[in-house]
Structure 1
Amino acid sequence: MENSEIIIHKLNRIEKYIFGLKEVFNVEELSHYTGFKKSYIYKLVHKNSIPFSKPSGKVLFFERKKIDEWLLKNSHKSNDEIQQEATEFSLRKNKW
């Protein structure tokens, strides 16, 4: 890698880290944070599928905590997690 490529790569990592520290995003920042295209974000807003605020009636804002929760909803457990829960359930059931 050339020095300029290394610098650009490091700046991109710093930028992503900074976005992770922000509490409120605009559409462009949310696009960087999630990797979603801006057009897809607007589509999600139009369908009320994503939590957002529109205080002035025009500009969209997104609370990072709510976005993180939204991104992680409908999560699926791994086979290891399911096996662990089954084992714990079995142990509890056998104690009674």
Structure 2
Amino acid sequence: MENNELIIHKLNRIEKHIFGLKAILNVEELSDYTGFKKSYIYKLVHTNSIPFSKPSGKILFFERKKIDEWLLKNSHKSNDEIQQEAIEFSLRKK
């Protein structure tokens, strides 16, 4: 049985990777892609907090590129990045 479980686990990982290659995702695929629960995704849609499309008026679709941008907005720099910028800035002022 352990061998079967390992195969199923690997297939699930491959499936999740494939979702990351798709340009357009539905709610279930977006949930797998982001790790967000479907109920949270619906809440984000309801509050217009996440970019989405609803072409037929019923089914939700999400453009992966826009989702990636949305996920990465408000990023914070690491201490190393801030220190490097400070060094570069001080060198430019001389």
Q: Indicate whether the TM-score tops 0.5.
A: yes
What's the CA shift string for 1:34-87, capped at 9, x where partnerless? 000000000000000000000011110000000000000000000001001101
Question: Match for 1:46: what amino acid?
Answer: H
Aligned-residue CA RMSD (Å): 1.1
**CA positional deviation for 1:16:** 1.2
Percent identity over the alignment is: 88
Question: Which consecutive residues of structure 1, in runs of 5 or more, have no partner in the other structure?
Answer: none
Question: Match for 1:49: what amino acid?
Answer: S
Matching of residue 82 in structure 1 with residue 82 in structure 2: yes
Aligned to 2:58: 58
Aligned to 1:35: 35
Aligned to 2:3: 3
**TM-score (structure 2 length as normaliser):** 0.96
Structure 1: distance between partners of 2:92 and 2:9: 50
Instruction: Count matched residues.
Output: 94
Q: Moved runs in structure 1, 4+ residues, more than 2 A?
A: none
Question: Which consecutive residues of structure 2, in runs of 5 or more, have no partner in the other structure?
Answer: none
